[in-house]
Structure 1
Amino acid sequence: MVAQSTSTETQDWVSRYADDVIAESERRAPGKPVVVASGLSPSGPIHLGNLREVMTPHLVADEIRRRGHQVRHLISWDDYDRYRKVPAGVEGVDESWAEHIGKPLTSVPAPAGSAYPNWAEHFKAAMAEALAELGVEFDGISQTEQYTSGAYREQILHAMRNRAEIDAVLGQYRTKKAPAKKSQKPVDEAELEAAEGSGAATEDDGSGGSAGYFPYKPYCGRCEKDLTTVVSYDDETTELSYTCTACGFAETVRLSEFNRGKLVWKVDWPMRWAREGVIFEPSGVDHSSPGSSFQVGGQIVGIFGGEQPIGPMYAFVGISGMAKMSSSKGGVPTPADALEIMEPQLLRWLYARRRPNQSFKIAFDQEIQRLYDEWDKLAGKVADGSALPADAAAYARATGTAAGELPRTPRPLPYRTLASVADITAGHADQALRILSDLDPAAPLTSLDEARPRLDKAEAWINKHVPAEQRTVVRDEPDTELLKSLDDQARDSIRLLLEGLDSHWSLDGLTHLVYGVPKVQAGFSADATPKELPPEIKVAQRTFFALLYHLLVGRDTGPRLPTLLLAVGADRVRTLLGA
């Protein structure tokens, strides 16, 4: 549990927002559950930028639950949005899907081979599965179900009756220049714009018709597309006439009975705030800029009798190391992609430790090893009580929720070690268990299950994100030419290593040995610290390491040498080093 701090200076960002949200909820709706909200549009793969739309309110909601309050986290699936374009790189999808542009997402066929009935359900399912693994509790609301069931009928009729007032609010911003679009970076340094995750930032606001302003857009009764124009509306009878520019269809319906259409986005969003009593909902950069949905919604929500939520703007999520994935998936990494290579706790921590307005990167390249080192170091500090309060709070939010701890790896061995073992053993479980058991002879691993799921994540990273030319292949035969060319000092360094293998056969022991050989050759103790050694020793160590890599794997770099030696095995090391 994360204790509530009495000092704002020592609170993390989650606690501060929880304070504000609880106070605001008690003012607006005393005695009722606190309502926080997110919105996701399943218009394609829901990416790691969109995940910030969910994780920000989730973390705040969870803190409120920890304090004993009832809270609902609503996720509006904006599956009644129009299908705008065919996303690149989605398996089972080709340009023939362009014929569905303009239809509701739930009326578009799912990608070929999908087990789901339509486009929206296909992409919702993957996100829901990832959220379950991340420990995110939520109440899902399908906007298709809401609109087609008539749940919003009164709100729609109210908006139409008050369309002049809504038009006046929107009119204040129509002549203002839109904020400049953020330039796209190369995919290897991609920034995922989470604004797309909540509703439709670029949707028209219902203006431009010759018959006047209407905040409602029907889907065509013939082609199902939203390329329609309202030509008349009668407030008394609620008769609405429209024409479709796509297929020429026209009809007159009673809006008091008609359920095949929706409010335009800049009206739809504040309507939901009022109807659901939302106290907290963040928004991406595009929704938070001047004249955008969040700002305009703050003025329109009053027309529906509600108030604007507390709504922090959240920054972009950067991605590093996505070059390989981009070729097959269109450069859109999803939470499921991240959870293939990292435990849920680490992914939760990346979102919990940074304030919403701070951008951060999620690593799919070598940087993931450093992130894991940082995470394990924090775990150690939390265990011994030396972690700073905000860091300890972020760790607690990452490892569990108000409902309990997330499942964790029983023996969380270093990720970089597991990755090296997965690289060297190429999927051979018996070989992996042998190596991992040798890491700590005093407490050997008895089953690979003790190292899972972290081991599986590291193996997936090696197999999917490390280029083939960077994979480790141990030599089959000694490099006799290189061995013959060695000078006396190089031969002596190999002799010292081989003589110490058996007595140092553990991860710590081999680390001491490989770093100690150059020290001993220079006349120092193997236990000498860097402060006791001249700078030349570091050069000698690098030279020695490069020699071992060449003799073992045929190049000058590779996995950490102690791990590599354990993986190769003492007998094979002796053979490859010419013993």
Structure 2
Amino acid sequence: MLWSDRLAQEVAGPQVVNDSKTPSGPVHVGALRGALIHDAVYRSLLQRDVPVRYLFGVDDYDPLDELPAIGGEQFRQYLGVPLCNVPPPPGSDADSLAEHYIRDFFDVFRELQINATTYRMRDIYRNGSFDVEIDVILRNADKVRRIDREVANTRRPDDWFPFQIICERCGRVGTTRVHAYDGETVSYRCEPALVKWAQGCGNSGRVSPFGGNGKLSWKLEWVAKWHHFPVTIEGAGKDHNAPGGSRNVATRCLQEIFGDVPPLNIPYEFFLVGGAKMSSSRGVGVSARGMANLLPPELLRFLMVRTQPNKTVDFHPDAERITRLYSDFDRVRARTTAGEIDGALYRLSALDGDPDYYAPPFDLVASLVQLPHISVEQQVERLKGRPLDPRELEHLTRRVESARYWLEHFAAPEEHLELKTALPPEAGLLRPTQIAFLHLVGQSLQSSPWEPDIIQATLFDAARMTPLKQRDAFEAVYTVFFGRASGPRAGNLLAFLDKEFVIGRLAELSLDEGAFWRETALDYSEVEKWLEESAPKATSVFANLVFRATEDTFLADDVLYVRAAGGIELTVTQEDGKRHLRRVGFAAGEGIGNDLATERSLFESQATELLRELGTRIGRDIAVTGPVVSSSPSSREP
């Protein structure tokens, strides 16, 4: 059962879910985790027909306590002023800095279908909605001071009150300290050195704390929200849930001042980008807007809600992790369609209910959008085998937009895919075995249908028949076409290219056959062990005898010597139909004169005897093809 469904089972009666954000800068993607965690709980409650509201507050009465990343020094004069009273950046048509930043965040809300009822603290304070809570809290300031001391080990002066007035002279709220309350008004002073990030003007006075003249300190503002709305479920990040932290202080204050039951807590860990925590005010990290441009809504929701809230989410939009994210989502979608899982995770992630649609992998889409003269839609329909329906076209469009945004804003230079019109210089670093693999692929593809799955199967078969590790085999493919070591599914990629061009490029590097044999040939004991392990599950074992004359000739005592080399290619076909090849090189001699027939005959008799011995050891006959005068890797079976 998904974590939000388990939580929804623990509560009874009508519920109010609450969350909030201080819009001091471009809202980073980490802030979306809290919003989507609460949204997941809200949706799970709705799924169980529990009466529930989801509220999301804008803490725009908080002071500007740091210079914004954009605008910098021009905002220094507003440090300490409520965010809703700070002008927006130049060129913005918002009515304040707070509104400028929260507007983009709420646009993302709409795209993600976060259906929260929003409120702004400037309105809550100014329309008097919090006046009752302010009065009760100020009358119980002694309890707040005691709880701060007992829970957080913070000692407050006896004349400290958890409230700050907006200075009547300078307009700052972050620099004022209230030191008395008579039930109707508070006495305050705007202190020049109260905080390090703003300077008060020294003004003092007595004013009503009601009607928006000031604000509660943020821990007590939390308490006021819980009591006023009233909130039954609200989580908080790990920094607030530390022992002696703000959550513990607020909980005790709610219990002792109002006698209320604290909201159900959902402690959640940070959302990190590449291991780094983010900051809105400093503009550190990826913004919510940027991540929403990168990921379609269903992928961004999936990224946030699939992980237990108390586990850190660390995501970096590099090729490997974004491809894996799409693959994980598509796997959940496929399993939901097949009925293998209950579909709760898909339900909380997707914007529509039906998981049964065709969508290509992200890495394939990212490749297609970079290939010249390619219609992505046509190629995807070719893979599907029939036209895309309107819903599939919509999802394809989202993935295309995602891929293009990733390439422009996040992809490293080496992650860009550029089809090389000429053999790239990186191909010169390939080993002879990799070149032999490419030649074998080219030979095998000449007569095969030009279909992605067939091409992919041919690549795997050629790797086993070279033999070459799969990683090194595909590195060779990506290198000769794109000048890089990795890429998306090669079978799909090659199928989008012209067949003659592909086969020509695969054969373009020249092969040093001697070096190839030296790299791949095993000694007799290694081949013997491999055969003994492979034979029990083999449907056939056959051998190809390879004999060739080298170019190394020399004269000695008026006699022409011609060097020759030989070996055996052993192929085992397993029960699953897959073929595996190992190579043993054992014959290397010197033939006298131009005639190699004697040397070839000697090689053949020696090889036949060796194969007879190997067949006896594994308990089966080894079929032998006739000797050939070539050492190119062979895919022939008798």
TM-score range normalised by the length of the shorter chain? 0.7 to 0.9
CA distance in 1, matches of 2:270, 2:109: 20
User: Over the residues paired in the alignment, what is the CA RMSD in angstroms?
Assistant: 3.2
Structure 2 CA distance for aligned equivalents of residues 479 and 14 of structure 1: 52
Partner of 2:486: 557
One-letter code aligned to 2:7: Y
Alignment-derived partner of residue 411 in structure 2: 466
Determine if contact 1:45/1:332 at 8 Å carries over to the other structure: no
Q: Specify the alignment match of 1:187 in structure 2.
A: none
Q: Distance in 2 between matches of 1:431 and 1:502?
A: 26
**In 2 relative to 1, CA 542–497 (structure 1 residues): closer, same or farther, beyond 3 Å?**
farther
Q: Which residue of 1 aligns with 2:335?
A: 381
Give per-residue Cα distances to partners, 1:347-373, cap 9 Å, x unaligned.
222332222212222331121111221
Residues 544 and 60 of structure 1: CA distance in aligned 2, closer, same or farther (over 3 Å): closer
Q: Deviations over 1:194-217 (max 9, x none)?
A: xxxxxxxxxxx9x44xx7121211
Report whether the alignment pairs 1:228 with 2:176: yes
Alpha-carbon distance change, 507 to 111 in structure 1, aligned in 2, over 3 angstroms: farther
Structure 1 Cα separation of the partners of residues 420 and 22 of structure 2: 51
SS in 2 for 1:102: coil
Aligned equivalent of 2:84: 106
Asked if the contact 1:438–1:506 (Cα under 8 Å) also holds between the matched residues in 2, the reply is no
Q: Which residue of structure 1 aligns with residue 526 of structure 2?
A: none
1:454-513 Cα shifts (integer Å, max 9, x gaps)? 221122222221112331222223569979x99799468536526625743222122122
Change (3 A) 1:495 1:79: same
Which has more strand, going by share of residues? 2
What is the DSSP-based 3-state SS (H/G/I as helix, E as strand, rest coil) of the residue aligned with 2:315? Answer: strand
Between 75-84 and 314-323, report the one with greater CA deviation.
314-323
Partner residue, 2:578: none
Instruction: Sort the Cα spacing of 1:492 and 1:259 in 2 relative to 1 into closer, same or farther, 3 A.
Output: closer
- 2:168 is the alignment partner of 1:168: no
Query: For residues 573 and 463 of structure 1, what CA distance do their matches in structure 2 show?
Result: 28
Higher relative contact order (CA 8 A, sep 6+): 1
1:436 aligned partner? 380
Separation in 2, partners of 1:378, 1:468: 31
Aligned twin of 1:309: 263
Kindly provide the amino acid, as one letter, of the partner of residue 276 in structure 1: F
Q: CA offset at residue 567 of structure 1?
A: 3.8
**Alignment partner, residue 601 of structure 2:** none
Alignment of 1:63-102 (within 5 A): 63-88=44-69, 92-102=70-80
| SS at 2:207 equivalent | strand
Q: How does 1:28-427 map to 2 (within 5 A)?
A: 33-88=14-69, 92-173=70-151, 175=153, 207-208=156-157, 212-226=159-173, 227-235=175-183, 237-238=184-185, 240-245=187-192, 246-255=200-209, 258-302=211-255, 303-320=257-274, 330-365=283-318, 366-387=320-341, 389=342, 392-400=343-351, 405=353, 411-425=358-372
- Identify the match of residue 452 of structure 1 among 390, 393, 397: 397
For 1:318 and 1:52, the matched residues in 2 are separated by: 10
| 1:374-429 deviation digits (Å, cap 9, x = unpaired) | 22122222221223x5xx322222225xxx639x895311112112222334xx6x
Name the count of aligned residue pairs. Answer: 493
Aligned to 2:8: 18
Instruction: Give 3-state SS (helix, strand or coil) of 2:60's partner.
Output: coil
Secondary structure of the corresponding residue to residue 143 of structure 2:
helix
Q: Which amino acid aligns with 2:176?
A: T
Letter in 2 for 1:69: V
Whether contact under 8 Å (1:423, 1:462) holds in the other structure is no
Find the partner of 2:454 among 509, 528, 535.
509
1:14, 1:63 within 8 Å by CA — same for their partners in 2? Answer: yes
CA deviation after TM superposition for structure 1 residue 321, in Å: 8.5
Q: Do the aligned partners of residues 162 and 482 (structure 1) sit closer, same or farther apart at CA in structure 2, a change above 3 Å counting?
A: closer
Supply the distance in 2 between the matched residues of 1:239 and 1:373 (Cα, whole angstroms).
Answer: 59
**Residues 421-459 of structure 1: CA distance to partner in whole angstroms, max 9, x if unpaired?**
22334xx6x54345434434x325599656221221122
CA distance in 1, matches of 2:395, 2:28: 31
User: How far apart are 1:572 and its partner, in Å?
Assistant: 3.3
The answer to whether the 8 A contact 1:229-1:242 is kept is: yes
Partner of 2:632: none
Deviation by residue 1:227-275 (Cα, 9 ceiling, x = unmatched): 123354323x43535345322333332335x522101112111121111
Identity of aligned residues (%): 27
CA gap 1:41/1:482 in 2 versus in 1, 3 angstroms:
closer
Q: Would you say the 8 A contact 2:17–2:231 is kept in 1?
A: yes
Contact 2:2 2:344 in 1 (8 A): yes
Runs of 4+ with >4 A deviation = 444-450, 478-483, 485-493, 541-544
- 2-structure distance, mates of 1:362, 1:43: 24
**Is contact 2:426–2:483 with CA below 8 Å preserved after alignment?**
no
- The Cα offsets for residues 45-102 of structure 1, whole Å up to 9 and x where unpaired, read as 22232222222221111111112232111111111111111244xxx42232222111
> 1:364 & 1:555 partners in 2: Cα distance?
19
Q: Report the CA distance between 1:104 and its aligned residue.
A: 0.7
Residues in 2 aligned to 1:503 and 1:238: alpha-carbon distance in whole angstroms = 89
The equivalent residue for 1:8 is none
Q: 1:132: Cα distance to partner?
A: 1.4
Q: Specify the alignment match of 1:4 in structure 2.
A: none
Offset at residue 551 of structure 1 (A): 2.7
- Is 1:418–1:459's contact at 8 Å kept on the other side of the alignment? no
Rounded to whole Å, the distance in 2 between the matches of 1:284 and 1:493 is 53
**Contact map agreement 1:369 1:416 (CA 8 A) in 2:** yes
User: Secondary structure, in 3 states, of the residue corresponding to 2:64?
Assistant: coil
Contact conserved, 2:294 with 2:405, CA < 8 A, in 1? Answer: yes
Q: Structure 1 unaligned segments of length 5 or more: list them.
A: 1-10, 27-32, 177-204, 523-536
Matching residue of 1:201: none
Decide whether the 8 Å contact of 1:219 with 1:228 is kept in 2. Answer: yes
